[in-house]
Chains A and B, each alone.
Chain A
């Protein structure tokens, strides 16, 4: 039998740090896109509560914690991070394995919002974007999902093939913010 070795999207790229900010790769057990079929959102939510202990997230919100989190991921779509969803969910929603489709990075540190302000056209300062808030937006022309998962702590998702560019851009912003705070 052929032996296939897995490689994560940011392998050999992360971790990095500059100033008070660090960038690391996250390795959730699974990423599952759940897009409820017509009028099935309540039932989908019930199913997720059973498997992941989280409800289907409201618009612009993420629920849960590391290990089991459901992130609103756009119109009619949630990204479930963590273990596998129920097999029965396919009756209620378009269920798509996205475990390999996204690079998940964590940006953490006092100046992390300043770093993101160089790349993201949305206000992510803690006064307006707190734990449990999420946005679909762009990160330097790349589609991104950004979730606040704690104080000065963000999970950033870009599509896997963009990982190298995203890491490069984030690192450049981290270095510049660090240089300016000297």
Chain B
């Protein structure tokens, strides 16, 4: 029911929205909950386990009950807090976790059987027969579980991430936060003020009290006006600080457009901020806790502070006849506010025996609510007083169990809050978050005047830490009442008393857990699920702890507390994962020939971050194999070109370049002649092969190293490590030149013919023998030419500055075609290298050492190198290690399968009999046979032996012969020719 003359909503702007298909009106500034309450809708949700009817418990983001689903289709958003979501015109809201509807929910039958669904019941049953768990019990349990539902569709909304920096981050904009922000800002510090709510002001928006001689919310407006005019202040409302991390890093979620209808198409829904703050002031206030009295969960029962918020901020009376129950003075304040607004106060029930009269309403002291009635909403309460029982009709009950300072963020770095016996709550431990000062109610300072002063002092502390001068600021006049509270953790009685409303954990469950020796607070939590609902126990943990303490005969401080972990409030996956949809997950790298290659119809495949062509289909070719076979034959008989720019290229320069390379490679490079190229093997210090490639010596002190595409980054890092950490006195520098040069392999018997049509001056075998390198000129542009081969053919790699990459590729392709050649892709490249027995990362897959691939002789005996000592460990040179061999089917047409394993002929295909596995397979159009590289125990000593290849996964079995891994031209005549 809307109360005239109350509230900070804009009554000039009416907004229509729907809830469960029915249309309602609210005003600008309303949340779903305030608008529904204004329409006298109290039933908003069902609980998790017992499907109990529920209304809002709170008026903020900590809400455990009133969770709803917004929107439909791909935008369907479950578990939205009706108490925090602002309404906008056309908003579509649905209740969740009920069937067929909210009023008549079939699953509420669980409530009738609640005695059999007590804490941990599922650990004790559903075990017989065993197979029934997956087939029967679990599906039933799963279907019942969960609150809202995802749509199952891709989330197409745009979200974003950003970074921010400041001297002082102020978290919360109640009196303490505003005062802290004002003090820091006037002192010239770089300030961010973050407020979870849609409006700055905190509790000042919800209380009837003056600050600086004017209504609190007007004082807020003045402060915000001043702050927003300052360059050194960034005001961030609708921004929740969700995590506190090391060295002053904070995670924050800014809700940008979820409260708007028709936001700009480029505007994100939410922004995830990483804020780096030199200092922070936590002024997150406090949350009022419910009281665990019997049947305390009906719609209409909510915290007293929520009742005041609905009344004072939103101008809504959550009931026509409101009762108030509490153990502290806020209960009185609530009753007074209601009465002053003309709402009937049915009774004020104060558990304390001695609280005096308060206002013009009935007051029962030393009394407790011990029962309630009303199936879908509160109708009546039963009160136990010294004089006996009394039933009172009421449709709303405001309960005030005292305040819990919002310590959550202070726990994010393992700080455990400490118990304050006077406040009856936990307060943050000093220094729990380095650089964070806690102020106001979050620190247990409960009066407005105290909070203002505390905010000011916190700002001073923060300013001192960043060496800023403090401006002369004084805190304004405000309410300064003492906080009087008496313990009231649970009320005995017949019915269940809820602690964790959403998860349906009652005081009985906690007591049962204790009886079953789940007495550690963590055990109790995990056994009962107390505090594991979407509010992370914000509303219930302290109460549950008190009940556990009582059940185990310990004090609350001895019982301990569970910790709060990030995030402070749940964060959408799409927000935390913003930008990662589709291609956004990792940057893409493109070779200069990319566009031409795509145009030619070549499927592109990922190679690390790069894209490389798989094969180039020609007309009439139906399968990749046809294209690949053609490309292989083309290279073997004519000439092919392929872009090899993705291979890492590292410029190594300096007086010690040669010596350095000797140290990182197993073999010698200081002896390499200028103008020559050598293959190198690089080990990790653990003795396993890290990478391989060729390195060319361009000058006395100048080498260029190539790495594999996959290994480029790792190798660069490794070189820098070795240089800076092991041999910093060596005078050598590395610069990646991968991007500077577009590089193309030109392979095949006609490769030189082709090149001579491109190069400005011709080359021949004498000027450019196998493994020669040097500068060349093409169209007047200086490039580099390397006579190296990864195909076993007479081949070159030609490099040109990248701006000419596409042009050179086009020129090479044109000339190749004129020679019956063309482009070849990764598939053909793979066949060519397997035929020749060249290894790639398929073979050097991390567990392989030089001995395993038959390259132990490449570890020079003349010098030390990285990995040399480890490679010599006894286990690393054992004959029966899995070692590289070639494999061919005894019947050439029979398939070989990469990933298949080997077994001796006649032996069963079991793990115990395993003889090795295949790493690379191809069909060789040259040999007219499948070929494979693989690792076989003691392989090099088993040449000619027959061995069974078994691929059980795909049902292929082939008898193979172990052979040398180089299938063709073992002498390398073609390469040299």
Q: Which residues of A contact B (CB under 8 A)?
A: 1-9, 18, 33, 35, 37-38, 76-77, 93-102, 117-118, 120-123, 125, 127-128, 140-142, 159-166, 169, 173, 175-176, 178-180, 182
Tell me if B266 and A175 are in contact (CB < 8 A).
yes
- Contacts A4-B804, A142-B587; is A179 near B740 (CB within 8 Å)? no
Query: Which residues of the other chain, A, contact B161 by a CB distance below 8 angstroms?
Result: 118
In the bound assembly, the distance between CA atoms of A160 and B591 in angstroms comes to: 9
Tell me if A179 and B801 are in contact (CB < 8 A).
no
B677 proximal to A (CB < 8 A): no
Q: Which residue on B lies nearest to A164, using beta carbons?
A: B590
Query: Which residues of the other chain, A, contact B801 by a CB distance below 8 angstroms?
Result: 97, 99-100
Question: 6 A-B pairs, CB-CB below 8 angstroms?
Answer: A4-B808, A93-B733, A100-B739, A101-B802, A118-B163, A161-B590
- Contacts A38-B731, A94-B654; is A7 near B737 (CB within 8 Å)? no
Mark B10-21 against chain A: 1 for CB-CB distance below 8 A, else 0.
000000000000
From B267, B588, B781, B802, A165 is in contact (CB under 8 Å) with B588
Tell me if B807 and A101 are in contact (CB < 8 A).
no
Query: Which residues of the other chain, B, contact A163 by a CB distance below 8 angstroms?
Result: 590
Give the Cβ gap from A9 to chain B, nearest Cβ, in Å.
8
Tell me if A7 and B165 are in contact (CB < 8 A).
no
Tell me if B806 and A162 are in contact (CB < 8 A).
no
Tell me if A33 and B735 are in contact (CB < 8 A).
yes
- Contacts A94-B651, A176-B160, A182-B264; is A5 near B804 (CB within 8 Å)? yes
In the bound assembly, the distance between CA atoms of A6 and B804 in angstroms comes to: 5
Q: Which residue on B lies nearest to A121, using beta carbons?
A: B163
Known interface pairs A4-B808, A9-B803, A161-B591; 11 further A-B residue pairs with C-beta atoms within 8 A, sorted by A's residue number: A2-B758, A3-B811, A4-B804, A18-B266, A93-B733, A99-B801, A100-B803, A101-B739, A159-B589, A164-B590, A179-B263
Query: Which residues of the other chain, B, contact A169 by a CB distance below 8 angstroms?
Result: 579
Tell me if A6 and B579 are in contact (CB < 8 A).
no
**Total number of residue pairs linking A and B with CB closer than 8 Å:** 143
Q: Which residue on A lies nearest to B611, using beta carbons?
A: A161
Give the Cβ gap from A100 to chain B, nearest Cβ, in Å.
4
Mark B256-269 against chain A: 1 for CB-CB distance below 8 A, else 0.
10000001111110
Query: Which residues of the other chain, A, contact B805 by a CB distance below 8 angstroms?
Result: 7
B5 proximal to A (CB < 8 A): no
From B267, B653, B760, A94 is in contact (CB under 8 Å) with B653
From B264, B588, B781, A179 is in contact (CB under 8 Å) with B264
- Contacts A96-B737, A161-B610, A178-B266; is A4 near B781 (CB within 8 Å)? yes
Tell me if B163 and A179 are in contact (CB < 8 A).
no
B779 proximal to A (CB < 8 A): yes
Give the Cβ gap from B183 to chain A, nearest Cβ, in Å.
20
- Contacts A94-B654, A96-B735; is A1 near B587 (CB within 8 Å)? no
Tell me if A6 and B735 are in contact (CB < 8 A).
no
B605 proximal to A (CB < 8 A): no
- Contacts A94-B651, A94-B735, A98-B740; is A179 near B162 (CB within 8 Å)? no
Mark B262-304 against chain A: 1 for CB-CB distance below 8 A, else 0.
0111111000001010000000000000000000000000000
B586 proximal to A (CB < 8 A): yes
- What's the interface size class on B, roughly? 35 or more
B367 proximal to A (CB < 8 A): no
Q: Which residue on A lies nearest to B231, using beta carbons?
A: A127
Query: Which residues of the other chain, B, contact A2 by a CB distance below 8 angstroms?
Result: 757-758, 778-779, 808, 811
Tell me if A99 and B590 are in contact (CB < 8 A).
no
- Contacts A94-B654, A121-B274; is A162 near B589 (CB within 8 Å)? yes
Give the Cβ gap from B277 to chain A, nearest Cβ, in Å.
11
Tell me if A8 and B803 are in contact (CB < 8 A).
yes
Q: Which residue on B lies nearest to A141, using beta carbons?
A: B587
B780 proximal to A (CB < 8 A): yes
B655 proximal to A (CB < 8 A): yes
Q: Which residue on A lies nearest to B595, using beta carbons?
A: A12
In the bound assembly, the distance between CA atoms of A164 and B609 in angstroms comes to: 13
Q: Which residue on B lies nearest to A158, using beta carbons?
A: B587
Query: Which residues of the other chain, A, contact B265 by a CB distance below 8 angstroms?
Result: 179
B37 proximal to A (CB < 8 A): no
Mark B652-670 against chain A: 1 for CB-CB distance below 8 A, else 0.
0111000000000000000
Give the Cβ gap from A167 to chain B, nearest Cβ, in Å.
11
Tell me if A5 and B807 are in contact (CB < 8 A).
yes
Query: Which residues of the other chain, B, contact A125 by a CB distance below 8 angstroms?
Result: 165
Q: Which of B762-784 contact A (CB under 8 A)?
A: 778-781
From B165, B653, B760, B778, A96 is in contact (CB under 8 Å) with B653
Query: Which residues of the other chain, A, contact B967 by a CB distance below 8 angstroms?
Result: none
Tell me if B778 and A7 are in contact (CB < 8 A).
no
Query: Which residues of the other chain, B, contact A161 by a CB distance below 8 angstroms?
Result: 589-591, 610, 739
Tell me if A140 and B587 are in contact (CB < 8 A).
yes
Tell me if A180 and B610 are in contact (CB < 8 A).
no
In the bound assembly, the distance between CA atoms of A5 and B276 in angstroms comes to: 47
- Contacts A2-B779, A6-B807; is A101 near B590 (CB within 8 Å)? no
Give the Cβ gap from B738 to chain A, nearest Cβ, in Å.
8
Q: Which residue on A lies nearest to B578, using beta carbons?
A: A118
Tell me if B735 and A7 are in contact (CB < 8 A).
no
In the bound assembly, the distance between CA atoms of A8 and B802 in angstroms comes to: 9
Q: Which of B152-184 contact A (CB under 8 A)?
A: 158, 160-165
Tell me if A3 and B779 are in contact (CB < 8 A).
yes
Query: Which residues of the other chain, B, contact A120 by a CB distance below 8 angstroms?
Result: 163
Tell me if B592 and A7 are in contact (CB < 8 A).
yes
Query: Which residues of the other chain, A, contact B735 by a CB distance below 8 angstroms?
Result: 33, 35, 77, 94, 96, 98
Query: Which residues of the other chain, A, contact B758 by a CB distance below 8 angstroms?
Result: 2
Query: Which residues of the other chain, B, contact A117 by a CB distance below 8 angstroms?
Result: 162-164
In the bound assembly, the distance between CA atoms of A71 and B768 in angstroms comes to: 39
In the bound assembly, the distance between CA atoms of A38 and B732 in angstroms comes to: 8
In the bound assembly, the distance between CA atoms of A95 and B803 in angstroms comes to: 20
Mark B786-826 against chain A: 1 for CB-CB distance below 8 A, else 0.
00000000000000111111111001000000000000000
From A76, A101, A118, A165, B160 is in contact (CB under 8 Å) with A118
In the bound assembly, the distance between CA atoms of A6 and B802 in angstroms comes to: 8
From B165, B586, B739, B804, A160 is in contact (CB under 8 Å) with B739
Tell me if A37 and B731 are in contact (CB < 8 A).
yes
- Contacts A99-B740, A100-B801, A179-B264; is A37 near B655 (CB within 8 Å)? yes
Query: Which residues of the other chain, B, contact A101 by a CB distance below 8 angstroms?
Result: 736-740, 802
Q: Which of B423-474 contact A (CB under 8 A)?
A: none
In the bound assembly, the distance between CA atoms of A49 and B416 in angstroms comes to: 59
Tell me if A100 and B778 are in contact (CB < 8 A).
no
Query: Which residues of the other chain, B, contact A5 by a CB distance below 8 angstroms?
Result: 804, 807
In the bound assembly, the distance between CA atoms of A179 and B733 in angstroms comes to: 46
In the bound assembly, the distance between CA atoms of A101 and B799 in angstroms comes to: 13
Give the Cβ gap from A28 to chain B, nearest Cβ, in Å.
12
- 9 closest A-B pairs by beta carbon, nearest first, are A94-B653, A94-B733, A179-B266, A161-B589, A123-B165, A100-B802, A101-B739, A179-B264, A101-B740
Give the residue among B165, B591, B757 with the most A Cβ atoms within 10 A. B165
Query: Which residues of the other chain, A, contact B740 by a CB distance below 8 angstroms?
Result: 96-101
Mark B576-605 against chain A: 1 for CB-CB distance below 8 A, else 0.
000100010011111110000000000000
Query: Which residues of the other chain, A, contact B653 by a CB distance below 8 angstroms?
Result: 35, 94-96
Give the Cβ gap from A102 to chain B, nearest Cβ, in Å.
7
